Amino acid sequence: MKPVTTGPGISGTFADVLDSLVCDFRAQVGNDRWHLYIHVLRSPEYSFRVYAPDGHTGLHTVTMTSETADGIRQILWDEAESWQSRVREVALRIDEPAGMSN
């Protein structure tokens, strides 16, 4: 799966920056199933959805500034922390001795 799918209004350098950003992020978290879909809402606002490896999605809106890529990077890391919490929770439930669950 491509790291980034772009909708209407996204192309050129910005699309390349996003692709590179998500590829780097995938390498840093060690999972290539992260995906981002982005499109223009109305200039300068963009809507994007982050797809985590477990199928969870998060919808976000950003305004285009000189620091938009940094903002998206931080949102990706926030989503990764949330994903890791979900994975830990499932792992704990699996490791729980029989009869100990609520």
Structural domain includes residue 91: yes
Structural domain includes residue 57: yes
Structural domain includes residue 100: no
Name the residue range of residue 60's domain.
4-95
Q: What is the structure's pLDDT at 100?
A: 56
Angle at 16 between CA 10 and CA 21, to 5 degrees: 110
Q: What is the structure's pLDDT at 99?
A: 57
Structural domain includes residue 30: yes
Structural domain includes residue 102: no
Structural domain includes residue 101: no
Q: What is the pTM of this model?
A: 0.81
CATH, residue 19:
3.30.160
The torsion angles phi and psi of 40, rounded to 5 degrees, stand at -80, 130
Structural domain includes residue 71: yes
Helix (H, G, I), strand (E, B) or coil at 28: helix
Structural domain includes residue 48: yes
Total number of domains constituting the chain: 1
pLDDT in tens, 27-47: 999 999 999 999 999 888 999
| CA atoms of 38 and 2, how far apart (whole Å) | 13
Are residues 3 and 19 in contact, defined by beta-carbon separation less than 8 angstroms?
yes
Residue 12 pLDDT > 90: no
